[in-house]
Amino acid sequence: MKYDRLTKEQFEELHPEFINFLATQSIDKAEWDKIKLETPEVAEQELDVFSDLIWEGVLSRAQYLEHFSKNHIFLFQCFPTYIQSIVLKSLVPETNFLSKEGLQWLSDNMFTSTIEMKVGKKEFTEERNFSIFELIQQGSILSDGKLFNQINDIINL
Cα torsion angle, 57, 13, 6, 86, sign: positive
Rounded to a whole number of angstroms, the CA Rg of the chain reads: 21
Does 157 have pLDDT greater than 80? no
Domain residue spans of the chain? 8-61, 64-155
Q: What is the pLDDT of residues 50-106, one digit of tens each?
A: 999 999 999 999 999 999 999 999 999 999 999 999 999 999 999 999 999 998 998
Q: Residue 37's pLDDT is what?
A: 93
Q: Residue 155's pLDDT is what?
A: 81
Q: What is the pLDDT of residues 119-152, one digit of tens each?
A: 999 999 989 999 999 999 999 999 999 999 999 9
